[in-house]
Chain A
Amino acid sequence: MIDNFLSLLFIVLLMLVAVPPITYLERKVLGHMQQRPGPMVVGPHGILQPIADAIKLIFKEDVIPKGSDKFLFIVAPSFSVFSALLAASVVPIGFINAVPMKSGLLFVMAMSAISIYALFLAGYSSNDKYSFLAGMRAAAQVLGYELPMGFALMAAVILFGSFDFNEIVKWQQSHGWGILYQPIAFLIFLVMMIAEIGRPPFDLPEGESELVGGFHTEYSGMRFAAFFFGEYINIIVLSLVVSLLFFGGWSGPFAKEYPILGVLYHLLKASFFVFLSFWLRATFPRYRFDQMLGIMWKVFLPLSILNIFIAAAEALLVG
């Protein structure tokens, strides 16, 4: 009980503390990939930039637009943070497992389904055309990515025979990493994960160039920050999940003898996927709306359904 509580505290603190450095790293990585230095002014190499950002966000005036639905406007950002933190609480990092759950993977899916209300309600309640369009886009995007993502996970679950993260890693420790068996599921999950977090090239609800700021056009101060906390925590959580499902999680050399090494392996694997999300952002232009829905419904959905048959065959062969 106390163990669980400490783990929960550790995970929540890790998520909240990790976000500011990640925003710094993202801007630095993006900068260097685009051949510019990135933040340079605040502190050596701009390392104090997140602190400056935090101070700015805290002291900024909190504006609630006049014609907005006040209740929903205030509630919307909390959906983003709380769903991300709840999802984080069930994902084990090495031996640190705050809420051991038989259906942990499904729980993460459920929380991702809830997190969309942040964008959707923010878009609706702002009483702003751009925000409203962004809210509609967010809703349509969910309908696009949720099915292929679900089917990709279904294939993985058929192979591993469990929704339990610990069981999944145990399976991989005896059979080898999941990506060896399910490369298609991995690819689909990776793309859908980027779409789920709403990051480029699937950042349609944000769309700075066409929708000003999309769902967060009217938000300022800490409410604005809440959306970004949610988004970045989601990146971390899904990176942890993808490295759990397809890259053996905390398994690695000497991980059994020294459990702390397992935690390190898992975090390292996950940080690669966090980096990958920056990389994709720097590389790809944003999809057009109909293109995104087209590729999801016409390419990824049939592919993910086909992949279920492959997974079933593998499950029969491997046992």
Chain B
Amino acid sequence: MNDVFFYLFGFLSVVLALLAVTQRNVIRGGVFLLGSFVSLGAVYFASGAEFIGIVQVIVYGGAIIVLYLFALMTMDLKKIREQPLSLGFVSLGGFLSGILFLLIVYGLANLGRVPKVEISGARELASPLFYKFLLPFEVISVLLLVATIGAVAVGRREK
């Protein structure tokens, strides 16, 4: 039963992601991206990682897409649409997504089955994070703090 949902939501997630990048209207694209992220959360659910699935919906579905849409709504979309595409950007994007595609194919070749997750709750996730991987965890949090302060500093200077 779970396998059916795994493939169903996986398929849905891919289809919605495709819709997201092919939409002419950026806001609609954002909404499809939201759908893609939420169905990715459902994929985690179907493979037994309840906690990660919910966090996926909160962080990506809630916070990040709201920020995307918020930023997009403040821009003048008509002006952006009229700008010509530059070949450099298109080829760079194509190159990067080609690498990503190869990575995914490589990963799939090694996997080829529905993963079974042992880590399902917050407790199981927290104990390795705060004992085994405490140092990397703290380093990342300092890095994020630096990025936040940096963003504030850059934003202030422009005023």
Question: What's the minimum C-beta distance from A144 to chain B, rounded to whole angstroms?
Answer: 12
- Specify the main secondary structure of chain A where it touches its partner: helix
Answer whether A109 and B51 are a contact pair too, CB < 8 Å, given A69-B25, A69-B27, A102-B120.
Answer: no
> C-beta contact mask, B6-32 vs A, less than 8 Å → 1, else 0?
000000000000000000010110010
B38 x A114 contact (CB < 8 A)? yes
- B34 at the binding interface (Cβ < 8 Å): yes
User: Judging by beta carbons under 8 Å apart, are A110 and B70 in contact?
Assistant: no
For chain A, the bracket of interface size reads 20 to 34
Q: CB-CB < 8 A to B55: which residues of A?
A: 106
B121 in the interface (beta carbon within 8 A): yes
CB distance from B1 to the nearest CB of A (A): 11
A110 adjacent to B28 (CB under 8 Å): no
Evaluate contact between B31 and A72: CB separation under 8 angstroms. yes
Asked if A315 CB lies within 8 Å of chain B CBs, one says no
CA distance A163 to B53 in the complex (A): 14
Residues of B within 8 Å of A245, CB to CB, are none
- What is the bound-complex CA distance between A101 and B27, given in angstroms? 33
Task: Determine the residue in chain B with the shortest Cβ distance to A140.
Answer: B70
- A121 part of interface (Cβ distance < 8 Å): yes
B interface residues, tally (CB under 8 Å): 25
Q: Which of A75, A106, A143 has the most CB of B within 10 A?
A: A106
Once the chains bind, are B28 and A71 in contact (CB under 8 Å)?
yes
Name the A residues within 8 Å of B57 (CB-CB).
Answer: 110, 113-114
User: B73–A146 contact, CB under 8 A?
Assistant: no
The distance in angstroms between the C-alpha atoms of A142 and B73, with both chains bound, is 16
Closest to A109 in B: B58
Interface presence of A265 (CB below 8 A): no
B27 touches A110 (CB 8 A): no
Within 8 A of A (CB), among B31-70: 31, 34, 38, 41, 50-51, 54-55, 57-58, 61-63, 65-66, 69-70
Whether B73 contacts A136 by the Cβ 8 Å rule is yes
CB of B63 within 8 A of CB of A103, answer no
Docked CA distance A136–B55 (Å): 24
Chief secondary structure at chain B's binding surface = helix
Contact B50 A75, beta carbon cutoff 8 Å = no
Decide if A124 touches B66 in the complex (CB within 8 Å): no
Enumerate chain B residues within 8 angstroms of A114, measured Cβ to Cβ: 38, 57, 61-62
A139 proximal to B (CB < 8 A): yes
- Given A101-B50, A142-B66, A124 and B61 contact (CB-CB distance below 8 Å): no
Which A residues are in CB contact (< 8 Å) with B50? 101-103
Q: Give the complex CA separation of A52 and B98 in angstroms.
A: 60
Contact among B54, B65, B74 with A110 in the assembled complex (CB-CB below 8 Å): B54
Which residue of B27, B54, B73 contacts A72 across the interface (Cβ within 8 Å)?
Answer: B27
A102 to B41 Cα, complex, angstroms: 16
Contact B70 A139 (CB under 8 A): yes
Complex CA gap A103/B55 in Å reads 10
Counting CB contacts under 8 A, is B99 at the interface? no
The answer for the CA separation of A121 and B34 in the assembled complex, in Å, is 12
Question: Given the interface contacts A75-B31, A114-B38, A114-B61, does A106 sit within 8 Å of B66 by beta carbon?
Answer: no
Q: Write the chain A residue with the least CB distance to B52.
A: A103
Residues of B within 8 A of A (CB): 25, 27-28, 31, 34, 38, 41, 50-51, 54-55, 57-58, 61-63, 65-66, 69-70, 73-74, 120-122
A interface residues with partner B (beta carbon < 8 Å)? 69, 71-72, 75, 101-103, 106-107, 109-110, 113-114, 116-117, 120-121, 124, 132, 135-136, 139-140, 142-143, 146, 163
User: Lowest 3 CB-CB distances: which A-B pairs, in order?
Assistant: A113-B62, A110-B57, A139-B70
